[in-house]
């Protein structure tokens, strides 16, 4: 009996060894940034070491992992360039720090770039853009050069990928820019910058399909999440936003050949102490465009200025032909179960284009309270005839006004 037990135990161990061997056989060795010379002392330039680890992992014929252990890594612009031979993971336990001086970057550079990678996993890591010096130089209204500053994290042509448990601090410009991506999920993202940080959108998405953002905590000086042209089938869920400018579709219509925006879902989010709540914005005198199938569901507003806003006369610096109507067509928009408090008396504003009025805009179960001394919450509508159901406060205009 004892021999039989020993034989079974040995057999079980052999099976485990064989199974582990199969796993190891299907994955290349880990590529540790420190083994490539990274100092992680917060002062030495660790660019070359990290990029070298990535390049070797990228050409590995089997699934591989780049490891960046605990420590502070000072790095300038880093590009994680694909395509790679197999799926690749980058596991970051440390903090990457950007040079504080924006002059260290070439114009239009992003700081950390993932380019043309399929099957990418990014796990963990803190990305500190050290943006305070740059913010003082970032006056778009006067200089028109805000886009010359580096974005913390750029994802370009990334497909079938997962990015989770990352933190972006004090970016000089946008924290994250997602462009020309497909089937990418961002889980448990933290973004943190002061309200005074200009043009530091938390997550900007453009010309991408199948992007999912869930469980994000975003504090910044501009939109928490913004969606540019070409966004399709984007899901934003369980985001806490504030301070910042809210969650925005747009701005749209500023540039030629913009692509349609459709299939956007924002749900189960909380927005607190922001300049706007949920917003769709297009420029006057715009190019022809389209935004449709936009759903905003179960959103809590806490002391938010204009919690519900469609603004087709968006002109932040007053340098527009405001009298010329927007040519971006907005249709099939639903606001459902939006509740909380408005920081301004104007809680709902639907300002659509007189040239291309909004179509099929629906509001259901809206309850937004204003506690100011000059009256209760109100709504304004122009060039739209919204469909109204459920309990609505403030009362929303059922017939458009001009």
Total domain count, the chain = 1
Task: Return the closest-CA partner of residue 333 out of 313, 305, 357.
Answer: 357
Residue 6: inside a domain:
no
Boundaries of domain holding 116 = 36-140+148-393
Q: Which of 222, 223, 229, 311 is catalytic?
A: 222
Q: Which residues contact 191 (CB under 8 A, 6 or more apart)?
A: 167, 168, 175, 176, 202, 203, 216, 217, 218, 219, 220, 224
Window from 25-29, 151-155, 356-360, 377-381 with minimum mean pLDDT: 25-29
Distance CA 245, CA 219 (A): 10
Residue 61: inside a domain:
yes
* Confidence band, pLDDT 50/70/90 cuts, at residue 148: confident
Residue 363: inside a domain:
yes
Q: Which of 175, 192, 201, 245 is catalytic?
A: 245
Strand partners, 212: 185, 235
* CATH code where residue 388 lies: 2.160.20.10
Residue 4: inside a domain:
no
Residue 20: inside a domain:
no
User: What are the structure tokens assigned to 240, written together?
Assistant: 């806490």
Residue 226: inside a domain:
yes
pLDDT number for residue 22: 39
Distance CA 206, CA 176 (A): 11
Cβ neighbours around 79 below 10 Å, total: 16
Q: Give residue-wise pLDDT tens across range 273-306.
A: 999 999 999 999 999 999 999 999 999 999 999 9
245: annotated active-site residue: yes
Task: Return the closest-CA partner of residue 176 out of 146, 202, 206.
Answer: 202
204: annotated active-site residue: no
pLDDT number for residue 16: 41
Residue 164: inside a domain:
yes
Structural contact between residues 207 and 231, judged by C-beta atoms closer than 8 angstroms: yes
pLDDT at position 334 over 50:
yes
pLDDT at position 33 over 50:
yes
* Confidence band, pLDDT 50/70/90 cuts, at residue 106: confident
Residue 311: inside a domain:
yes
Q: Is 30 helix (H, G, I), strand (E, B) or coil?
A: strand
* Confidence band, pLDDT 50/70/90 cuts, at residue 150: very high
């Amino acid at each position: 009996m004892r021999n039989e037990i020993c034989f079974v135990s040995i057999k079980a161990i052999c099976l485990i060894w064989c199974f582990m061997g199969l796993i190891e056989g299907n994955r290349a060795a880990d590529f540790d940034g420190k083994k490539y010379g990274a100092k992680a002392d917060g002062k030495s330039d660790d660019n070359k070491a990290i990029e070298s680890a990535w390049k070797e992992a990228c050409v590995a014929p089997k699934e591989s992992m780049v490891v960046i252990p605990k420590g502070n890594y000072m790095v300038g612009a880093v590009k994680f360039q694909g395509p790679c031979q197999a799926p690749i993971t980058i596991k970051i336990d440390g903090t990457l720090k950007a040079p504080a001086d924006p002059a260290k970057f070439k114009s239009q550079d992003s700081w950390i770039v993932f380019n043309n990678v399929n099957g990418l996993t990014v796990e963990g890591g803190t990305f500190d853009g050290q943006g305070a010096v740059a913010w003082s130089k970032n006056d778009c209204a006067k200089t028109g050069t805000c886009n010359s500053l580096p974005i913390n994290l750029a994802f370009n042509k990334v497909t079938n990928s997962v990015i989770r448990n990352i933190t972006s601090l004090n970016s000089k410009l946008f924290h994250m820019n997602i462009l020309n991506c497909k089937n990418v999920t961002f889980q448990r993202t933290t973004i943190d910058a002061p309200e005074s940080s200009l043009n530091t959108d938390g997550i900007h998405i453009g010309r991408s399909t199948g992007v999912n953002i869930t469980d994000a905590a975003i504090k910044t000086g501009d939109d928490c999440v913004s969606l540019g042209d070409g966004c399709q089938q984007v899901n934003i869920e369980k985001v806490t936003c504030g301070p910042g400018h809210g969650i925005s579709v747009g701005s749209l219509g500023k540039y030629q050949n913009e692509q349609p925006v459709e299939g956007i879902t924002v749900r189960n989010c909380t927005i607190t102490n922001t300049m706007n709540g949920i917003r769709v914005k297009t420029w006057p005198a715009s190019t022809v465009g389209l935004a449709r199938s936009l759903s905003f569901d179960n959103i809590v507003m806490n002391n938010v200025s204009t919690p519900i806003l469609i603004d087709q006369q968006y002109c932040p610096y007053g340098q527009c032909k405001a009298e010329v109507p927007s040519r971006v067509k907005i249709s099939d928009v639903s606001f459902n179960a939006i509740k909380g408090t408005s920081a301004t008396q104007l809680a709902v504003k639907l300002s659509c284009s007189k040239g291309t009025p909004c179509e099929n805009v629906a509001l259901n179960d809206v309850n937004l309270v204003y506690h100011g001394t000059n009256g209760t919450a109100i709504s304004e509508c122009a060039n739209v005839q919204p469909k109204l159901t459920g309990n609505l406060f403030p009362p929303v205009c059922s017939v458009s006004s001009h």
